[in-house]
Structures are given as structure tokens and as C-alpha cells.
Chains A and B, each alone.
Chain A
Amino acid sequence: MTEDDIKQIFFVECEESLEAAEAGLAACREGTHDAETINAIFRAVHSIKGGAGAFGHTALAAYTHGFENLLGDVREGKVPLVPALVDLLLLALDCLRDHVEAARGSGAVPDDADLLARLEAARAGNGGEVAASPPAPAPEPAPAPAADPLDDLDALLNELSAPAPAAPPEPESWLVHIRPHAGAMTKGSEPLLWLRELTDLGGTCELCDIAPVPTFERLQVEEGYLGWTFRMPGTVARDAVAEIFDFVGDEVALAYDGDPIPAPRIAAPSAPAPVAAHTEAPQPIHKPEAAATAPTPPAAAASAAAAAAPAAAGAANQSVRIDLKKLDMLIDGVGELVIAQAMLAQRLTNENLAHIEELALIDGLVRDIQEHAMAFRAQPISSVFGRVPRLLRELGGSTGKHVKLEVAGETTELDKTVIERLSEPMTHLIRNAVDHGIEPPEERRAAGKDPEGTLTLSAEQKAGRIIIRIADDGRGIARDKVLAKAIANGLVAPDAQLTDDDINQLIFAPGFSTAAQVSNISGRGVGMDVVKQNVKELGGRITIESVPGKGTTFSLALPLTLAISDGMIVQVGDQSLVIPLTHVIESLRPTPADVKGMGTRAQMLNARGSFVPIVPLGVLTGAHEAVTNPCEGVLVLVETEGHGRAALLVDAIADQRQFVIKALDAHYRQIDSVAGATILGNGKVALIVDVDFIASNAARNLVGNVPLAAAA
């Protein structure tokens, strides 16, 4: 694993931590102030800080340090978690996100001096407001970047890696007296190693006090009886010696030149009888027997249990990191298993064995495995929803419209790829909702609404698809304006009769924008057409419901996964083909009156007033004995984004089922008009029709009035 790989892990961790912190702060905002929530926020920031230091992102480390200090105080109850503080922490989190982005190399390091000052001020207890008089020019309120907490290690261990240099002028040597107590030994320390280090520093043992050593039968192996006096060269700083014992702390009595030599803490040999010494040794803190017989639980057990208690919430986030490729291989294999199982079932059915118990068992198992394998790739949509609060804060800042967020179903899971590609269209829809949908506060007040707008995000699983709704309670789509604009742009004929829904859909037309002035929020050169395109590419659909004065709801219906799709299996001559169901609008048997000739070979279907080119799939595939007269076959009306509609002529519709897409280029080569292949239940390979390509080809041929190219 290279340094870069590890860095990648770190940035994935950062994402997770940022999301955890965001979720925690959101909970705080709702009034949840329990220890585990606050602890989770602290841990998230703390973990970023740890990695930032390790990977040399000093700006990030310094910033997280300031952030963490405040969170630490909050955690310890030193600073009350008032709403204003939560807002400040959210701001700080936004800045942290920018810092992470900067560390990743995409974006500039944010200017955090002001924010750090406010965080520091909040620690002092005045709610995050910097004292009225701005901090004097000289003192920088922010902690010195990276320097203070991170160098501690060097301080602690410097002397080890760089033993005392042979200094030229010989300063006077000095003495150090050491007497370890029992506690040092029970915690895994080893006096021999300290002494060795003292020797390494140049020290020499002057005296070893063996007086307190009792007779053998009274000897407690854990107890410290010996004391040493070492002479250290004057070139060795006291701190260097202190560091060796820094951590052992109270367990070792240390005394330097001139200090009184520490007395043995244990009872001298002349002390009480052995039994008494064993049970009532006069050490208030460390009872020898606790260490002598190991499994005696000390008082510490109680606090250990307390520490273990708030673990439940954290356990939900437990995860194993797996290379996505391995996962895809597994899912691919599961896809094959599903197909093989279907083949087996069909075979057994043919043999009149469909009812055997084992088949039902395998059927159930395969379905379970498929479901679980798909769940591997599934992620809760909260990772997309979780970014929305920040978006709303930013939009609130730039538009002055404060918008409440209501979220439902954020635990709904969908495919990782879908999640990744969903964030852009969702962001656009939300910007749009705030910019165009939700009215300014004055206007809302005048309309008798809550001056604060509400944006509702919801996700649910329904009939094998995920439905995501983005709803605002704004003014709704002004359909008269949309229609006027569309007519002005030449998108629709002035006399066209359009339903409300048709007009709503016009906002997805390329280049359409009704905002009187293009704002810097929605007008980013990306239109709603791109949103629709993105959703469509995911195999999804987008619909609009809008009530004037009440608001607009965009509903995205997305597939659960991209690995398995629903398809319509059609018969064309001697071949079976699969048409992805997302494209299919309807299928029909046309009457001769519905079909119009155009040019020498092209034919059009009159589908309720609009003409759609007919594409005989049999000609494209070169299938034998395929139907060529539309009136003798079935027309499958398909819709594409961008390339309009087409009517695919097939012989018959055979089935509708789920299929696993296999790319052709992995086994053969890429072919136009074929999106891939799949294996049917009977074991035969069927090609999947690339509807987009066929529709665009058909449209192009019509425009140029060129006959359809025969056999691809």
C-alpha cells in the first residue's frame, strides 16, 4: 500500500467524519444534547485532526485543533450547547469541509482566522462572539499552526533518537534519585529499561539502596524495594531525564540534586508481621495483592463499564472497506448465479420436476444472496441528504431566504453509483427550489405563509424503485409564464393545446429559463434539461407536481441498482431481443390507418396526433423471417431523452423480466445500436437494444430524408 493509497483512505475517512459531525450537529440543533451525540461529533473532528497531522496537512491540523478544543469543552460540559453555539459549530464544520477539500488539493485553504477567533471566544463563554474591540493587531488568537500539540512526541522522545551530544565545555554533573513503587511494575513498566536509558544518556549508577529489601519469604514480587542514585553528565538536561519518567509519573519517586532522597514507601523489613504486611500494607492507593493475584478486579472496573456503555450508537457505523472491483466481481457472479438458477428451474420444469423441494430451497437462497449482494453496493441516501443543510445555509446567505429542511426516509438505501451521480441533479433542483420556488420573506408574509420557507426531502422504496421527492412550499410554477416563454423561444406552437403537465415538462427543455434575471445561484449554465438528462442516464424518471401558491414537488423515480434492469423481451424473427423497460411508454398493434409512409422506405406511426418514426428491429438485426409490415407485428413505443421517440417494430412481446447487463466489448466488440447482452432463462444470449442510438439514428434519417440504413 503506497502513501497515496493511505491518503485516499484518509480522505474517505474525512468524508465519513464530516457526515457524522454534520448528522450529530443536526441532532443537536433538534435539541438532542446527549453525551454520545456530542462525543460522536468530537470523535469525528478528532479523527480528522489525527490524520491531518500524520499526513502533514498543517493548516487542516491547526484548524481542527482549534475546533476540537471547543468541542472538548462542550463535551466536558464547560461550555453549554446553546443554539447559537450549534450554529457556530455548523459554520466551523463548513469551514472544516473546505479545509479538507484544500488538503485534498481541490480548492484554496480557507481563511479561518476569524472563525478560529470565534471558536476560541466561545470557549471563553461568550457564545462565539469575538470581543467587541477586535483582537489587538499583535496577538494572533488562533493557536499557532500545528506547532503546539503536535511536537509533543518529539519532546518526549527526542533524547532517545539523539543521545546526548558530547558537549565541549563540561558543565557540572548532577544527581538523580529514583525509587519505583509497586504501581510502576503492575502497569507494565520495567525499571531496568529506565536505568538502561539513563546509562545511554551518559549516566552512571552511584548507589543502589538495597536496605528496604525484606527477607525472601516476605518479598512481594510486584513491590519496588530498590532505589538508585545516578550521576548524570551536566550536558544532559533534567527534562531529558524527566521525560523518561514522565509517563510513569506518581509510580516513581524522583528527586534531583539537593532534594531530599525519597524514602522507600514500603514498610521496612522491621515492620509488622508478614500477614499484616500482606493485607494491610500502608499504601492507600496501590494494594499489593491487587497485582499479586492478577484477576482481582480493581475499582477501575466500574469506570471501564461506564466507558463501554455509550457504545451502541457508534456500532451502527461499523464497516469493512472492500475494493469496489472485488465487490463488482461478486455481484457479477451473483448475477450469473441468478441466471443459472433460472435455467435450472426451466429445465426442471420441462422435466416435470418443478415442484421438487430442493429447487424451492435454491430459489429462496439465490434470491436472498442476490438481495444481500445488492445491499453491499447500497448506501443510505443520507449521504446525499446530509449535504443539503450546508447548501441551504449558503443559499440563505446569498438570497436572504431562510429555508427549513425536513427530511424523511434518509435511511433508504440505493446503489452507490446512483448515489454518486444523484448529488449533482439534486443540488440543482434544490438551488432551483430556493431560487425560483420559495418566495422572499416579505412576499410570503403578504401571502399569509410562514416567512421561513420549507424544503422537504424524502426517499422511499416503492415497487422496486426509489422515489425521491424534493418539495418546496413556494409559489409554484407560473405556467402562463412558462408557456409564454416557450412560445417566444419557439419551443411550442402558439396554438398548441398543452396540459398542465406538458407545460411543467417544458422547464426541462434545453435552454429554457424563466427567471427574469439569471441569478448566480441557478444560472450556472446548467439547465433543468441537464437534470433530466442525468436522471434519465440513471434509468430514472422525473415528474413535476406544482400547485400555484402552494409549491412544487419534483419526484425522481430511480432504479434500485444499475446492475440489474427490467427489460421487455421481444421476439424478432428467430431472435429474442431485450428492450430496457425504462424507455418503454406503451406497445400497440397499429391499424393500417395509423401508419403513414414517408419517402421510399421510412414509415411513421401516428401516435395520437404526433408522428413517430417506425424502426423495424428485424432489419437492424438481420433476423430471419421477421415481420416487416407494422400492422402484422407489435410496435413498442419508446422514449429517449434528447432524441425523441421511436416505434420499434417487433413480432411479438415474449416476456418481461429482470436482466443483468453484460458489456459486449469485453467479449466481442462494441456494436452500435446494441447496449450489451444478457442470458435468458433458456440459456440463450439475447442482445439488449440501445434505444438511444436507434432513436437518434431514426431521427437523423428522417431529417435528412435518407432511407433507414439496412442491417447494421
Chain B
Amino acid sequence: MQASNPAPIRVLTVDDSASMRALLLGALTSRGFAVEQCEDGQEALEWLASNEVDVIITDINMPRLDGFGLIEKLRTSALHAERPILVLTTESSDEKKQRARNAGATGWIVKPFDADKLTAALRRVIH
């Protein structure tokens, strides 16, 4: 795989579960990513309106604005229309995958995640 860049890759994780956020934060920062976190789609949308990241990891089931909604909205925005977005969720049905795909998600990872594999998945989608 490619050598890691000098500037850390910036990841935004969106999850309403504090424990999941803590896990992601630990896993990703220890592997050299710069991590930002939001608690739901709405917060992420607001944060992303004025911030840049390299890749977004989002949960599906969240209050206020769920993952599907977040992806759909981001795909209509100028800034994030082509941002890689990974879905990290416990859902694993094909129907849900299809929905995420239709919404414009780049990839799908099932919880619980293995940190190394998550890292690999991130590197797979980062341009």
C-alpha cells in the first residue's frame, strides 16, 4: 500500500454512541489519523459546512439525521459531493446496503470493527 503521507489523514466519525466514538477515536488516532467526531448526522452536516476532511465514517441509526440522510445531503453539497463516505453500522442486510449505495455511500463496514481492517478500508477509499 502507499506510504503514509506526512500530513495525517483527517477522518470525521459520526456516531450517536459515546462508547463507539471513544473506540473509534482510540483506534484511529493511534494509527496516525486526525480524528474529528460528531454525534449525529445533523451535527456532522453543520460541522462539515465549514470544515474539510479526507474521509467520513458514519453510523446509520442516529437521531435527528440518520446516516442515509447525511450521505444524501452531503452528495448534494459542493464541498463533499465526492468525499469518500464509509458506512459503519451493525446493519448487514443487502437492502440496507442498497439504500446506502443509492444514497451515495462509498463503502460499508459492519460493526464491530477490527481497527486494522478499518484502517485498510479507509486507505482503500482515500484518494
Q: Give me the interface of A with B, judged by CB distance under 8 Å.
A: 1, 5-7, 9-10, 12-13, 40, 42-43, 46-47, 49-51, 53-56, 149-150, 152-154, 156-157, 160-161, 185-190, 193, 197, 200, 246-250, 291, 294-298, 300-301, 303-304, 307-308, 311, 314-315, 317-318, 321
Contacts and interface: CB of A to CB of B under 8 A. Distances in A.
B16 to A, nearest CB: 7
Nearest to A53: B112
Contact of A308 (B22, B64, B101): B64
Contacts of B49: none
Contacts of B39: 318
Contacts of A291: 81
A187 B104 contact: yes
Contact of A5 (B22, B75, B108, B109): B22
Given A47-B16, A189-B106, A300-B104, A161 B26 contact: no
B66 to A, nearest CB: 6
A314 B63 contact: yes
Contact of B111 (A10, A53, A304): A53
B18 interface: yes
Contacts of A6: 19, 22-23, 26
Contact of B109 (A7, A50, A149, A153): A153
Nearest to A200: B1
A50 B59 CA distance: 10
A42 B62 CA distance: 11
Closest 9 CB pairs of A and B: A314-B63, A307-B69, A10-B19, A311-B64, A304-B72, A53-B112, A152-B110, A54-B112, A157-B117
Contacts of B98: 249
B48 interface: no
B113 interface: yes
Interface string B105-126: 1111111111011001100110
B82 interface: yes
A288 B7 CA distance: 33
B100 to A, nearest CB: 8
B10 interface: no
Given A187-B75, A188-B82, A297-B76, A13 B109 contact: no
B20 interface: yes
A157 B64 contact: no
B105 A50 contact: no
Contacts of B117: 153-154, 157, 160-161
B122 to A, nearest CB: 11
Contacts of A9: 18-19, 22
Contacts of B112: 50, 53-56, 150, 153
Given A152-B92, A247-B107, A43 B63 contact: yes
Contacts of B40: 314
B111 A153 contact: yes
Interface in B84-111: 84-85, 89-90, 92, 97-98, 101-111
B72 A188 contact: no
Nearest to A64: B90
A29 B59 CA distance: 29
Interface string B47-74: 0000000000001011111101100110
Nearest to B43: A318
A187 B105 contact: yes
A47 B61 CA distance: 8
B3 interface: no
Given A47-B16, A186-B81, A153 B69 contact: no
Given A186-B75, A308-B64, 19 more contacts: A47-B16, A49-B90, A51-B17, A51-B19, A54-B112, A55-B19, A56-B112, A153-B112, A156-B109, A156-B110, A157-B109, A187-B85, A188-B104, A190-B125, A193-B124, A298-B75, A300-B72, A311-B42, A314-B64
A186 B19 contact: no
A392 to B, nearest CB: 29
A307 B124 CA distance: 29
Contact of A157 (B92, B111, B120): B120
A307 B66 contact: yes
Nearest to B101: A249
A373 B100 CA distance: 43
A296 B69 CA distance: 17
A54 B64 contact: no
B17 A50 contact: yes
B5 to A, nearest CB: 15
A300 to B, nearest CB: 4
Contacts of B85: 187-188
Contacts of B102: 300
A161 B20 contact: no
B110 to A, nearest CB: 4
B19 A247 contact: no
A317 B63 contact: yes
23 contacts: A10-B19, A43-B16, A43-B61, A46-B90, A47-B17, A54-B113, A149-B90, A149-B92, A150-B111, A152-B110, A156-B109, A157-B121, A161-B116, A161-B117, A161-B120, A186-B75, A186-B82, A187-B82, A189-B125, A190-B125, A297-B76, A298-B75, A304-B68
B82 A295 contact: no
Given A150-B112, A153-B117, A301 B76 contact: yes
Interface in B1-37: 1, 16-20, 22-23, 25-26
A300 B17 CA distance: 27
A198 to B, nearest CB: 12
Contacts of B26: 1, 6
A347 to B, nearest CB: 46
Nearest to A307: B69
B124 A308 contact: no
A608 to B, nearest CB: 57
A50 to B, nearest CB: 5
Contacts of A161: 116-117, 120
A262 to B, nearest CB: 18
A5 B19 CA distance: 9
Contact of A160 (B16, B83, B120): B120
B108 A295 contact: no
Given A7-B19, A51-B20, A321-B18, A247 B108 contact: yes
Contacts of B97: 247, 249
Contacts of B18: 9-10, 12-13, 321
B125 to A, nearest CB: 7
A298 B41 CA distance: 19
Nearest to A155: B110
A55 B127 CA distance: 31
Contacts of B77: 294-295
B21 to A, nearest CB: 9
Nearest to B59: A50
Contacts of A160: 117, 120-121, 124
Given A6-B19, A311-B65, A53 B72 contact: no
Contacts of A297: 76
Contacts of A149: 90, 92, 110
Contacts of A54: 19-20, 23, 111-113
Contacts of B125: 188-190, 193
A247 B61 contact: no
Contacts of A249: 97-98, 101
A380 B40 CA distance: 23
A223 to B, nearest CB: 14
A200 B2 CA distance: 12
